[in-house]
Structure 1
Amino acid sequence: MSRRSILRIAAWPWLIASLAVLVIGFREAIFLTPADAAQGDIGRIFYYHVPSAMLSLVFPYVNFLASLAFLYWRRRDPLKALAADALALAAAEVAIVYTTVCLLTGMLWGRATWGIWWTWDYRLTAELLLWLLYVAYLAVRRYSATGQTQTIAAVLSIFAAIDVPINFMSIRWWRTQHPAPVFFGGPDSGMDKTMLPAFLWNFAGWALWGTFILIFRYVLERRRQAAEQEAALVAIEASLEISQ
């Protein structure tokens, strides 16, 4: 059985599982988990903001590792380099989706709790910088006219990878308006056990969904690459026939 057939068979169960987990997470977050004692129902944004924020720091490293693989293989094995580049592009697109969701839900939450849409807090600024880096990444992939588009994009992925640990550690290194870390932030960190099921279901659901979109987009990009290569071969054959 070919790899394409395996992916096609696995796609529907994965999609159905992702949607099912998201539905369970929604039910847990909106209907079953008690409202926050201090924030009320607006605190339920937590179950969407925090998972998207965490995943927005995961997919950039998929992009980064795939970009490093592209740089390594681009002269040694162009076919492997193309596969790595397709994965890098797919991961960048998923990363910008989760970064956007993180910023938007954070702004809504900030408006409700702080009374402002935005502040130049270290964590917020680092997340915005990550978003801008991936906007630049996709703009380079879309509009660059040079023959080094993938290489330039791979360099941008390195800057994004540098921003990720700064983003993660910002609320540990500096005093910020952003709340303290929920996990691994010291003796006072953590969440109430009544919140844990809703958080875990939503984190699992959005992780499954993001992985599904990543693989789906990777397969589409590989098909585009194959079509482009086939068109190039047809053009070369046609030119050879004309010259003869």
Structure 2
Amino acid sequence: MWKWLHPYADPQRAYQLSSKLLPWFSLLAISLIGIGTVWGLLFAPTDYQQGDSYRIIFIHVPAASMSMAAYMAMASAAFVGIVWQIKSADWMAAAIAPIGAVITFIALFTGAAWGKPMWGTWWVWDARLTSELVLLFLYLGVIALYASFEDKVLAARAAGILAIVGVINIPIIKYSVEWWSSLHQGSTIKITEKSAMPDSMLYPLLINILGFGLMIGALSLVRFKAEILARNSMRPWVRELAQAKGVK
């Protein structure tokens, strides 16, 4: 596995691989999110307790789950960059951070919009909400550290350490509903047990979760390619690429 991945530490190969993967990620993301959202918003049955207001779940849950997945991907890339000194891993971590921050904000915003009719308030200092807010601050901290140092090697190391330390917040988000008294409902998707929702609601939700994951992957690849070009602007292959695209 490592022998297959190691050649892609080379910026040119990483750029070429990203270019090949991007159309597939983009097409699948658009297709799945389109199917899942239309199915969930228009054709899924009305919930007997929450009515149609529950339909925000088809945006909120994918955003919330993928905000954690994106953070783990960012922290993993940062770990590879620190331990094995692979610059392209640092660039990937830097590429994921802003996308993860936006997805986390979407999760918080849609959660607040859902909480208003259910709880009667936009925000409570609930364990799940608070730990998700901490996740947003961690993303913003990583972004700030990457931008705070002119020495990008030092910036990547500082941001990477914060990203790795911040992983401790992920299980807190995941299990906060079980560990503390919480207004937030428990998990409706079960891996080892039957899920707490009918298939007509579950399937579009799962489709959207997968679609959001692919969307984050596609956006990360776009930013990753931009990071590669920015960090290797003086390389001959980048100049040749620019000339081929008509950039002077």
Question: TM-score, normalising length from structure 2?
Answer: 0.82
**Alignment match, 1:66:** 77
In structure 1, list runs of 5 or more residues that go unmatched: 75-80, 231-244
Deviations 1:159-179 (A, max 9, x none): 321111111111111121111
The change in CA–CA distance for 1:223 and 1:187 in structure 2 (over 3 A counts) is: closer
Match 2:60 to one of 49, 67, 86: 49
The change in CA–CA distance for 1:188 and 1:82 in structure 2 (over 3 A counts) is: closer
**Alignment match, 2:105:** 100
Match 1:181 to one of 184, 187, 201: 187
Match 2:132 to one of 127, 130, 150: 127
Alpha-carbon distance in 1 for matches of 2:88, 2:94 = 10
Q: CA RMSD in A?
A: 2.4
**Alignment match, 1:241:** none
- SS in structure 1 at match of 2:27: helix
Write out aligned runs for 1:8-27 (5 A): 8-27=19-38
What one-letter code is carried by the residue in structure 1 that aligns with 2:175? M
Task: Give the C-alpha shift of residue 9 in structure 1.
Answer: 4.4
Deviations 1:22-72 (A, max 9, x none): 111121011110121111111100111111111111111111111111111
Alpha-carbon distance in 1 for matches of 2:162, 2:60 = 26
In structure 2, list runs of 5 or more residues that go unmatched: 1-12, 237-248
- SS in structure 1 at match of 2:78: helix
Alpha-carbon distance in 1 for matches of 2:73, 2:203 = 27
Contact 2:25 2:217 survives alignment (8 Å): no
Question: TM-score, normalising length from structure 1?
Answer: 0.83
- SS in structure 1 at match of 2:68: coil
What one-letter code is carried by the residue in structure 2 that aligns with 1:204? L
Tell me whether 144-153 or 97-106 shows the greater mean CA deviation: 144-153
Q: Is 1:207 aligned to residue 218 of structure 2?
A: no
**Alignment match, 1:150:** 156
Write out aligned runs for 1:221-240 (5 A): 221-227=227-233
What one-letter code is carried by the residue in structure 2 that aligns with 1:165? P
Alpha-carbon distance in 2 for matches of 1:178, 1:145 = 42
The change in CA–CA distance for 1:159 and 1:4 in structure 2 (over 3 A counts) is: closer
What one-letter code is carried by the residue in structure 2 that aligns with 1:182? T
- SS in structure 2 at match of 1:176: coil
**Alignment match, 1:141:** 146
**Alignment match, 1:162:** 168
Contact 1:29 1:44 survives alignment (8 Å): yes
Aligned sequence identity (%): 28
What one-letter code is carried by the residue in structure 2 that aligns with 1:109? W
Alpha-carbon distance in 1 for matches of 2:145, 2:16 = 33
What one-letter code is carried by the residue in structure 1 that aligns with 2:123? W
Contact 2:91 2:228 survives alignment (8 Å): yes
The change in CA–CA distance for 1:102 and 1:121 in structure 2 (over 3 A counts) is: same
Alpha-carbon distance in 1 for matches of 2:74, 2:17 = 24
Contact 1:108 1:117 survives alignment (8 Å): yes
**Alignment match, 1:235:** none
Task: Give the C-alpha shift of residue 227 in structure 1.
Answer: 1.2
Task: Give the C-alpha shift of residue 212 in structure 1.
Answer: 0.8
Alpha-carbon distance in 1 for matches of 2:201, 2:155 = 45
- SS in structure 2 at match of 1:57: helix
**Alignment match, 2:96:** 91
